[in-house]
Structure formats: C-alpha cells, structure tokens
Amino acid sequence: MSPSPGASTASFPLQLLRLLRPHQWVKNGFVFIGLLFSDVSDDWGLRGNVLYAAAGFCLLSSCVYVLNDMFDRKADQAHPLKRHRPLANGTVGMGAAFALACVCAIAGLALGAAAATRVAAILLAYLLLNLAYSAGLKHVAILDVFIIAAGFMLRIFAGTWGVGIAPSQWLLLCGLLLTIFLGFAKRRAELMVSANDGAIGASQRPVLDDYSPALLDTMMAISAAGVIVSYSLYTVSPDTVELHHTDNLIYTLPFVLYGMFRYIFLVHRRGGEDPASTLLTDAHMIVTGAAWLGVTLWLIW
C-alpha cells in the first residue's frame, strides 16, 4: 500500500519510532508513585530496580501499541487522524511491525527480570491483559475501562510490591479511582469524536454505542470525586503523617483539584482521546503537575 496523501515522508527508522509512540511513556510515571511516597531515600539499589521496572513498562507498552495498530490497521485507515499512523498509511509493513513488537516484548521482560522476578511476572500479566483487551474485551462496556485501569494499577504494583515497597492502601485506592476516571474521560472524548464523524466514528469503536454523554459524565463525576476524597484522606492519614514526618501534604490538594477540573474542561472543550498528549501539550496541566511534584518533594524529602 502506498502512503496516503499527507502521510509522513520521514525515514523508516523515524516511522518505527512513531509506531512505538514514545510520548505515551509518560503513563509509566505511575511506576514511580510508590518510590515517591515511600521512605527509601537511602536505598539506591531499590531506586535502580524501579527504573528497570519503568523502562520495562515503556518497552512493553510500546509492544502493545504496535500490536494494537496491527489489529486495528483496517479500521484506522478510515479514521481522520489514525489513518496517518505508520501501519495504516503503509509506511511500515506488518512483518516489520511484528518483529519490532517481539523485540520490545523480549527486551521489556528482560528489564523487568533485572529488577525482580515479580516485576517480570507483572509485565507478562500486563501483556496478556492487553492482548485479551485487543482480542475483544475492548468491546464490553464498563469492563473495557476497568481493563485500562488495571493496566495502570499493574504499573503501580510493579513499582511497589514488585520491587519490595509496601504500597499504601490509600495510595492504591486513589490510583484506582484516578485511572478509572481517565478511562471514562477517554471514552467521553471518543464519543464526542464519534458524534462529529458520524458512521465512520462509530465504526472505529463499537463499544461507544453502549455509552451516552450523560452516562459517561456521571461516571467521570463519581470517579473524580473519589480521587479527590481519597487523596485528601491520604494526605491527613496518621500513617502518612508518621511516614513523612509532616502533616502539610494537604496543601498539595489545590493542585490536584485544579488538575482534575482542568482535565475535565479539556475533555469537553477540546476532546481528550489521548491523555498523554493532553498532559504533555496543555500548559496548565504541565505547570500544575510540575508544581504538585515540586511541592510534594519539598514537603516529604
């Protein structure tokens, strides 16, 4: 297949890099959550294992993106934006894509094993979960979002239980609710795109037929409220205060509130099919995230 008009004429290695979607690696920041909120400041070996786990997830997630593009190549050719992806426009062949996915899977699992056997097992579970998602579970309403959330939770577990850090129950609860919120927000944005594109948009993701704007707005509101409440309770929990020797983490809550509300605003005003792009391109989200991280580090470290 020859590239479609407007398809990138960049070199083949650059097309392979596009296929890996490195901008999506920002999602693997969830691996570092346990390290950030744990008292392991003097354990550099453990920090190294968390880095190995994060690198493993970067490669495994890229493997999953390549496989997804292979599954969805025909549908992507009809999408106004996705048709420019390397597989959809024919600048990368199926054979090269499959080889790239295999290399990423093997290297990612090897990095996970370098961190710990449990990390490698979590990475394998992540890969199998996403294969099941692509094979058909993505067409089951509600379950599709919970599978997306499960992928994020596996990242958190890799950076905590996988390397020997005991995860806080409050942190796990907050992480679960946040990832569910992001999943429903993604579906809300896709529903907006589908409504604009008509029949073509509906054919891209059939599960959207089972959702409605009111339903997704309700689910987003419930999960967003859960994130705010659980994070607030975490910051004032006696265990948190004892661990970090401060009761001032509550002052990071305004950044969380603004970030949540800004993200909801972006979903409704600009769409938010790609959470990673939203986080990396919106100045408000970048400044808010950096401010939250800076204040949090200043308070606990």
Per-residue confidence in pLDDT tens, the chain, 301 aa: 444 444 444 588 888 888 899 988 999 999 999 888 887 667 788 889 999 999 999 999 999 999 988 888 877 777 767 777 888 888 888 999 999 999 999 999 999 999 999 999 999 999 999 999 988 898 999 999 999 999 999 999 999 999 998 888 888 999 999 999 999 998 998 888 777 665 444 556 788 889 999 999 999 999 999 999 999 999 999 988 998 889 999 999 999 999 999 999 998 887 656 777 777 889 999 999 999 999 999 998 7
What pTM does this model have? 0.86
How high is the pLDDT of residue 48? Answer: 92
How high is the pLDDT of residue 83? Answer: 78
Cα dihedral: 212, 216, 218, 219 (round 10)? 140
Closest to 243 in 3D by CA, of 179, 182, 293, 170: 170
Closest to 270 in 3D by CA, of 185, 204, 211, 212: 185
CB proximity list for 59: less than 8 A, separation 6 or greater:
104, 105, 107, 108, 111
DSSP assignment, residue 206?
G
How high is the pLDDT of residue 4? Answer: 43
Closest to 71 in 3D by CA, of 131, 151, 137: 131
How high is the pLDDT of residue 198? Answer: 56
Q: CA geometry: angle at 186 spanning 183 and 190, to 5°?
A: 140
Question: Which of 88-103 are b and which e, b meaning 16 or more Cβ less than 10 Å from the residue's Cβ?
Answer: bbebbeeebbeebbee
Using CA atoms, how far residue 15 sits from 6, 50, 69, in Å, is 14, 29, 13
How high is the pLDDT of residue 203? Answer: 52
